Chain A
């Protein structure tokens, strides 16, 4: 699939493969288009080519929007350039499944990326494309998680980086960004204010804002999650995916990844049911889904799930269409349910996730409880980030025991369910 041009999702106007993101005719978002070679490739050869690739997202370079193929002097060296992302574990979560009354649940643990979130996938693609286009400075607006990744990739590749975040972000996310030498700008306001500022700045600076003017390339990086899930399931599709929704980009691009491989014949069967997960305190997509609307009414976010706190989701209409088209849904859960979701995942799988993963796990629990999931379904839960980034969310949710260093103190002071 050779990359061909940029195309407006709304009016199909075509543009060259440059740092462009919005259609001049209708303001619709631009997306990367490829020359498709559906159905007439040697599938065995294609699978071997993927399997023989590097242990990171560049094994899927044939499906990514890079003019020069994977970065590095050769495909073999690609895995050593920059901060390679991807090839994260897909864990069979039998204890979680049992707790929820389901048969088969898998956890895609994308916290196992270089900066501990799926953002390393999209940033790898955006930054590689930015270098191809000759940019020397990278930037982003972020709810924090993307900021970590942009700062780290800038450091790894020797690019200057500017990250713009809401000024009231969790300290862990700010510290895990500034340490890489990025210029960190805390903006007074919420994410949507930061986004508006950066959309204006993007026109004034010759920088690669990974999620603005490089957005068409950036968003394509999320497809690698779908490719990996399918490859790790033995070139099979799951029946259902539960995915967090902020802007709606990840949600829709996972489906796009599955669709591209279905079109090639690499995967057989229907697109999985796609379930989006939002926090009640910022649920413009879930509200529009519940009310039967095609577009989202923006909201002012108020939730502990700050990584999903986008009140004005640009890909909302596409996320709604996808959920409806696949027989899925977009659901919202309360802050209390989010905390319970973080604990449920940790206790049953050993995976500690940030608040977005709490949202996703809580929505899975809600779907199971509601009876939406057939017990025979194979479900994939997409966990996008690491729990150490949002420690405040779990503070005070369990008890620790402080004792004197004696056997007696331990015996008297700590409840023990297992007999000695």
Chain B
């Protein structure tokens, strides 16, 4: 399953300057694992010691927050887009 991951500006330096990366995986967890394989530095930026997402990291599959889906176990389709964004809200 090939998925496009959109990298936020704050993480691009750790991703070789890329704004998007094409990685493999059938779930969000697998997609992130493959991303971390390619860019090791991203792991500690996005995940905590237990492997969970840091609390100020939001992940969206096709625009939907994965916390409304199945979290890291959320399945992804071939060609879907996974967006990583910092949590910032209020207005």
Residue of B10, B13, B54, B57 with most partner-chain A CB within 10 A? B10
- Contact yes or no, B90 A246, CB < 8 A: yes
Contact A195 to B91, CB < 8 A, known contacts A24-B13, A27-B45, A27-B86: yes
Q: Which of A23, A246, A312 contacts B58 (CB 8 A)?
A: A312
* A206-224 contact mask (Cβ, 8 Å, vs B): 1 or 0: 0000011001000100000
Residues of chain A lying within 8 A (CB to CB) of residue B13: 24
- Contact yes or no, B9 A192, CB < 8 A: no
Q: Give the interface residue-count category, chain B.
A: 20 to 34
* B48-73 contact mask (Cβ, 8 Å, vs A): 1 or 0: 00000011111010010101100000
With an 8 A cutoff between CB atoms, is B83 at the interface?
yes
Contact A27 to B56, CB < 8 A, known contacts A199-B85, A297-B67: yes
The answer for the CA separation of A28 and B85 in the assembled complex, in Å, is 12
**How far does the Cβ of B6 sit from chain A's closest Cβ, in whole Å?**
8
With an 8 A cutoff between CB atoms, is B46 at the interface?
yes
Shortest Cβ distance from B13 into A: residue: A24
Residues of chain B lying within 8 A (CB to CB) of residue A314: 56, 87-90
The answer for the CA separation of A147 and B91 in the assembled complex, in Å, is 8
Residue of B45, B65, B91 with most partner-chain A CB within 10 A? B91
With an 8 A cutoff between CB atoms, is A317 at the interface?
yes
- Contact yes or no, A315 B63, CB < 8 A: no
- Contact yes or no, B63 A27, CB < 8 A: no
- Contact yes or no, A146 B91, CB < 8 A: yes
- Contact yes or no, A193 B56, CB < 8 A: no
The answer for the CA separation of A24 and B9 in the assembled complex, in Å, is 9
**How far does the Cβ of B3 sit from chain A's closest Cβ, in whole Å?**
17
Q: Which of A21, A24, A140 contacts B91 (CB 8 A)?
A: A140
Interface hits, A163-195 → B, CB 8 Å: 191-193, 195
Residues of chain A lying within 8 A (CB to CB) of residue B65: 192, 298, 312
- Contact yes or no, A26 B8, CB < 8 A: no
- Contact yes or no, B88 A195, CB < 8 A: yes
- Contact yes or no, A200 B89, CB < 8 A: no
Contact A295 to B55, CB < 8 A, known contacts A27-B46, A141-B91, A193-B63: yes
Shortest Cβ distance from A210 into B: residue: B91
With an 8 A cutoff between CB atoms, is B23 at the interface?
no
- Contact yes or no, B54 A26, CB < 8 A: yes
The answer for the CA separation of A298 and B14 in the assembled complex, in Å, is 28
- Contact yes or no, A312 B54, CB < 8 A: no
Binding site for A on B (CB under 8 A): 6, 8-11, 13-14, 45-46, 54-58, 60, 63, 65, 67-68, 83, 85-91
A-B contact pairs, 27 of them (CB 8 A): A10-B56, A21-B88, A22-B88, A23-B10, A24-B13, A25-B45, A26-B54, A27-B45, A27-B46, A27-B86, A146-B91, A147-B91, A192-B89, A195-B89, A196-B60, A196-B63, A199-B86, A203-B9, A211-B90, A211-B91, A212-B88, A215-B88, A246-B90, A247-B91, A249-B90, A312-B65, A315-B90
